[in-house]
């Protein structure tokens, strides 16, 4: 090889090496495909940078994955973490404002499958991912999908921390609470958290029962008489719902009310409890705390019943 050829070869080799080095240092954006709970597959050329979330649990999930900064708008109920309260609000979870969302120019809108706005947004060329987190398995699955969307590694680690937190809460409970039958009121309709819901699954993992079996669905609307007949050992309810309990027909006969075994949750606690997202471990801890506080009242009620039974059996 003569001198000219050798220099030409060296130059080409240097250029090739430099090109490979540049490519290796570049973060090459890769296409992303997500199939949502409508079974619609949505394609993204790269991870979205501008996100609107109109479901509080999805808002919290995006933040738990470390990408709160990508949120440019939320629904009126999204209030955690505190940083999202300063974001533009685009209506409710079920009635988001189409024009308000479009004005934010989002790369994607995260919403519930029960929201009817998806088609209208898609007509405007706005991508939508609709999720339906009813069970803990749904929460896990959706967290993984969001992790894929946002290109977050180690999502399973985040999930394990949540899951381990529920297990830890269960370990704080005495055996005496096992098999208590609980009525968890989601709304005053009354809608309850059934055994198949993420709330019901947490109750099961805490070792307590549920007056609403899994075959009634995750959040059924109940006939009030059903609750009276079920006669739960303990009631979990929001402050708003608690105010009406004593005036409900027949409810004065429910054992939990007679013996003051009612867990009354503040608005902030209720937000934690009813949102299927990254604060489920905190929700389990809140439930466990109240269950522990009601152990003495349950034992007192049991002793009172035993005394009454003995007295009624006496003959004079």
Report which DSSP code applies to 184: E
Rg, C-alpha atoms of the chain: 27
Rounded average pLDDT over 128-157: 97
Per the CB < 8 A criterion, the answer to whether 224 and 189 are in contact is no
Per-residue pLDDT for 192 more than 70?
A: yes
Longest dimension (CA), the chain: 127
Determine what percent of the chain is predicted with pLDDT higher than 70.
Answer: 84
Per the CB < 8 A criterion, the answer to whether 29 and 38 are in contact is no
Instruction: Give the C-alpha distances (Å, rounded to integers) separating 7 from 21, 82, 199, 314.
Output: 21, 62, 72, 114
* pLDDT on residue 97: 97
Residue 72 main-chain phi, psi, to 5 deg: -115, -5
Q: In which residue are the tokens 């969001």 written?
A: 146
* pLDDT on residue 151: 97
* Confidence grade of residue 179 (pLDDT, cut at 50, 70, 90): confident
- Alpha helix (H) residue ranges in 26-49: none
Tell me the pairing of strands 128-131 and 181-187: unpaired
Per-residue pLDDT for 99 more than 90?
A: yes
In the structure encoding, which two tokens stand for residue 29, read together? Answer: 């954006």
Q: How many C-beta atoms surround the C-beta of residue 290 within 10 A?
A: 16
- Mean pLDDT across the chain, nearest whole number? 90
* pLDDT on residue 10: 58
pLDDT 10s digits, 15-64: 666 555 555 544 455 799 999 999 999 999 999 999 999 999 999 999 99
* pLDDT on residue 247: 92
In the structure encoding, which two tokens stand for residue 280, read together? Answer: 């489920």
Report which DSSP code applies to 135: S
pTM: 0.85
* pLDDT on residue 312: 44
* pLDDT on residue 30: 75
Q: C-alpha angle with apex 255: 249 to 257, nearest 5 degrees?
A: 65
* Confidence grade of residue 314 (pLDDT, cut at 50, 70, 90): very low
In the structure encoding, which two tokens stand for residue 53, read together? Answer: 């979330």
Which domains, and CATH codes, for the chain? 32-154 (3.40.50.1980), 173-305 (3.40.50.1980)
């Amino acid at each position: 090889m003569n001198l000219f050829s050798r220099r030409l070869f060296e130059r080409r080799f240097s250029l090739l090496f430099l090109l490979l080095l540049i490519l290796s240092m570049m973060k090459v954006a890769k296409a992303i495909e997500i199939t949502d709970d409508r079974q619609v597959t949505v394609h993204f050329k790269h991870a979205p940078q501008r996100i609107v979330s109109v479901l509080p649990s999805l808002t919290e999930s995006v933040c738990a994955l470390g990408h709160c900064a990508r949120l440019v708008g939320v629904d009126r109920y999204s209030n955690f973490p505190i940083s999202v309260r300063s974001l533009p609000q685009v209506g409710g979870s079920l009635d988001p404002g189409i024009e308000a969302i479009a004005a934010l120019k989002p790369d994607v809108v995260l919403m519930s499958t029960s929201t009817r706005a998806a088609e209208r947004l898609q007509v405007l060329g706005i991508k939508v991912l609709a999720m339906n987190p009813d069970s803990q398995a749904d929460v896990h699955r959706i967290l993984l999908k969001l992790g894929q969307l946002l290109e977050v590694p180690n999502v399973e680690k985040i999930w394990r921390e949540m899951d381990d937190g529920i297990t830890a809460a269960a370990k704080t409970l005495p055996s005496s609470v096992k098999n208590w039958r609980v009525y968890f009121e989601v709304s005053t309709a009354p809608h309850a958290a059934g055994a198949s819901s993420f709330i019901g699954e947490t109750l099961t993992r805490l070792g307590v029962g549920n007056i609403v079996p899994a075959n009634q669905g995750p959040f059924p609307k109940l006939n009030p008489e059903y609750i009276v007949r079920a006669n739960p050992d303990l009631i979990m309810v929001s402050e708003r719902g608690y105010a009406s309990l004593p005036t409900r027909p027949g409810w004065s006969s429910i054992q939990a009310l007679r013996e003051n075994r009612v867990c009354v949750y503040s608005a902030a606690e209720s937000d934690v409890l009813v949102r299927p997202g990254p604060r489920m471990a905190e929700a389990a801890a809140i439930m466990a705390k109240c269950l522990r506080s009601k152990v003495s009242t349950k034992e007192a009620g049991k002793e009172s019943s035993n005394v009454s039974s003995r007295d009624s059996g006496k003959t004079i």
